[in-house]
Chains A and B, each alone.
Chain A
Amino acid sequence: MPGVDHCLQEAMAIPGAVGASIVDYTTGFPVATTGAAPNSDHEAAAAGTADVVQAANSRSLFVSALPHDLLEDLIITTAGGYHLLRLVQTDFDSRLVLYVWLDRMLGNLAVARHRMQKLADDLVAG
């Protein structure tokens, strides 16, 4: 049965992944973490992740008025890495985002994005 730990293991199997976590973006709390985090601080990374998602989500600046248009993922690029944030849509109330940190040289953005979509869906597939 794929649980949270299994999901993070799979995320770490994405080429170039150096760290992964599941973050509650209302509180900025890392519900589950694995691997490395920027500046070796998962909690600070989670708080930053929450701020980014809140900014994109709460003001709905990028979500169009089309029905069912949802924020799906956010990608932050730095000189050394990619930071991918994928919203996990659960039927019950939760505000979770799957975060994966990729090495810039080893990682492939398209592959990672595709894999993360599948992971987030499998985690809660009813």
Chain B
Amino acid sequence: MTSSKTAAPGRLLAQVAGERQTGALVVGGHPGGAVYVLEGRVIYAESPAAPGVGELLTASGRLAGRTWQNALDRGTSGAQVGRLLVEQGHLTQGELELCVLGAIYDAAYFALSPADAPVEFLGGATHWLGPVVHVDPAAVAREVRRRARLLDDIFPDARVDTAIVSPIARPPRERISVTAPQWELLVHADGQRTPADLAFLLGKAGYATIQELRRLAAAGLLELPEVRGEAPEFVRLPRARGTAVDVRRPQVRPDDSPTVPVITGVRPAAPDPPAPTPAPSPALTEETSANGTVYRPPRLARRKPGAKLPKEVAGETPPAHPGTDEVLLKRIRTALRALR
């Protein structure tokens, strides 16, 4: 069964669980995620905002990247990565279960907390980790709601959860105290990392990271992102203006009989149909507008083949982003180690 719709992910999970289905509940949007159920019980959950079992085990150094990659290579096809790690003696059953339980509740918070998101259930899908634990979906849903409340009790501002983490430059008081996890976050917040970046970098649960960040915000130690009045408008397309686009609409007179078939039936008052785009003219550099003037774009200076860049262009070095690069490089390093 595959159904795609916009709904409350938690409600669909309850429905799927009630029908004792097996598959993956894929939640879109930001951050989104997926919850895997086996015969109505939750066996795994993942989200881009929550480090998974692999990230938790390798970032902490509990498993070498190579060990993890080996288990993935061997166990993915049979969906028994977790069992292999225990059988080969890399992890105890207790460690694996606790790690998976932590990862499930962590990812479920991000996947299931939105009240409304594009949700899709992929029937029959299984997770490569294999069934390690079986959790009651109702308990997961209850815990997700409780965690959301906990955060708001600490500091009721959800911007902290996603905005780039920037500690304030000057503490608001003479004496401040931070816990060890908070210290780690402050030290690694380089003005570019988001809470999710920090969670992956440090191998900490995404929710625990947000929780500490809200505590820091409540203590006045974080710069809060500026309040935006309205939803940001990322791209505004230019409106078609009289002289820019040559639009010739046929004059419609009531007595004209239609020359094309007309769809009859109730039709909502739709806006005017989009203006017919003019057919691409063969000469792309020239466009004749409605009033007959010819538009010629300015000619760009061209370099001869093999010529060097002009000094003012070549001299600029691309801006350095140490933070993002470091995360990326660490991931590449882990992957390369695994290949050795």
Collect the chain B residues with CB atoms within 8 Å of residue A7's CB. Answer: 94
A to B contact number (C-beta, < 8 Å): 89
Stretch at the interface among A12-20, A78-86, A87-95, A107-115: A87-95
Q: A-facing mask of B97-111, CB < 8 A → 1, else 0?
A: 111011001000000
The answer on a CB contact under 8 Å between B98 and A90 is: yes
Which of the residues B60, B101, B150, B211 comes within 8 Å of A4, measured between beta carbons?
Answer: B101
The answer on a CB contact under 8 Å between A93 and B97 is: no
A26-66 at interface with B (beta carbon < 8 Å): 26-29, 31-32, 58-59
Q: How far is the CA of A27 from the CA of B150 in the complex (A)?
A: 8
Collect the chain B residues with CB atoms within 8 Å of residue A29's CB. Answer: 105, 143, 146
Collect the chain B residues with CB atoms within 8 Å of residue A6's CB. Answer: 93-94
Q: What's the least CB distance linking B277 to chain A, in Å?
A: 55
Collect the chain A residues with CB atoms within 8 Å of residue B207's CB. Answer: 27
The answer on a CB contact under 8 Å between B94 and A92 is: no
Given known A-B contacts A3-B97, A4-B101, A93-B203, A126 and B60 have beta carbons under 8 A apart: no
The answer on a CB contact under 8 Å between A1 and B143 is: no
Given known A-B contacts A91-B61, A92-B57, A124 and B94 have beta carbons under 8 A apart: yes
- Interface size of B by CB at 8 A reads 33
Given known A-B contacts A27-B147, A27-B150, A29-B105, A94 and B98 have beta carbons under 8 A apart: yes
The answer on a CB contact under 8 Å between A24 and B211 is: no
Given known A-B contacts A3-B97, A27-B150, A27-B207, A92 and B56 have beta carbons under 8 A apart: yes
Q: B-facing mask of A98-126, CB < 8 A → 1, else 0?
A: 00000000000000000000000011111
The answer on a CB contact under 8 Å between A126 and B95 is: yes
Q: How far is the CA of A122 from the CA of B98 in the complex (A)?
A: 13
Given known A-B contacts A58-B179, A91-B62, A92-B99, A1 and B205 have beta carbons under 8 A apart: no
| B332 beta carbon closer than 8 Å to chain A | no
The answer on a CB contact under 8 Å between B94 and A24 is: no
| B92 beta carbon closer than 8 Å to chain A | yes
The answer on a CB contact under 8 Å between B93 and A3 is: yes
| B328 beta carbon closer than 8 Å to chain A | no
| B204 beta carbon closer than 8 Å to chain A | yes
Which 3 pairs, one residue from A and one from B, show the smallest C-beta to C-beta distance? A123-B94, A1-B93, A91-B62
B→A interface (CB under 8 Å): 56-57, 59-62, 86, 91-99, 101-102, 105, 133, 143, 146-147, 150, 177, 179, 202-205, 207-208, 211
Q: List 14 A-B contacts (CB under 8 A).
A: A1-B86, A1-B93, A4-B98, A27-B150, A29-B146, A58-B179, A90-B95, A90-B98, A91-B62, A92-B99, A92-B203, A93-B59, A124-B94, A125-B92
